[in-house]
Amino acid sequence: MDRSEFYSSQAGRRIDVPRRSRALFAIGDVVKHRKYDFRGVVFDIDPVYANSEEWYDQIPEDQRPRRDQPFYHLLAENDESSYVAYVSQQNLLIDKDGEPIDHPQVNQLFEDFRKGRYILRRSLTH
């Protein structure tokens, strides 16, 4: 299989990645967690797990997601707070609610909310 690698500052190491990693969600999509009561907007995507070993080891072993799938950085919210979450693809669904996310950083990254998804600020695209 054709592979490449990238440096993850969160993991502090180079990450080996299959050249064809298939993300189901895109930057600006509003998603919700399959098991836990929170939703968020995708602001970055890692093609495979690219966080620290300490973070991964904190997940109960019987709930640890596979590392070889996309992981999403989310501006997340629940009924009590707003935070940044890092979630595996297997644990996310599109949020069909159609409502915006109430997170204090949304306006820093996104310029508009249209038809249930966020539009990334032009200054942040390449």
Instruction: Sketch the domain layout of the chain as residue ranges.
Output: 3-124
How large a percentage of the chain has pLDDT more than 70? 82
Query: How many whole angstroms separate alpha carbon 49 and alpha carbon 33?
Result: 17
Q: What is the mean pLDDT of the chain?
A: 88
pTM of the model: 0.84
Which CATH superfamily is 3-124 part of? Answer: Hemimethylated DNA-binding domain (2.30.30.390)
> Taking Cα atoms as reference points, which of 4, 12, 42, 7 lies closest to residue 25?
42
DSSP 8-state class, residue 58: T
Parallel/antiparallel/unpaired status of strands 39-46 and 71-77: antiparallel
Residue 14, pLDDT > 70, answer: no
* Cα(99)–Cα(126) distance, integer angstroms: 27
pLDDT tens digits, one per residue of 53-97: 899 999 999 999 999 899 999 999 999 999 999 999 999 999 999
User: How many CB atoms are closer than 10 A to CB 23?
Assistant: 16
Structure tokens at 72: 């999403």
By the 8 A CB rule, do 4 and 17 touch?
Answer: yes
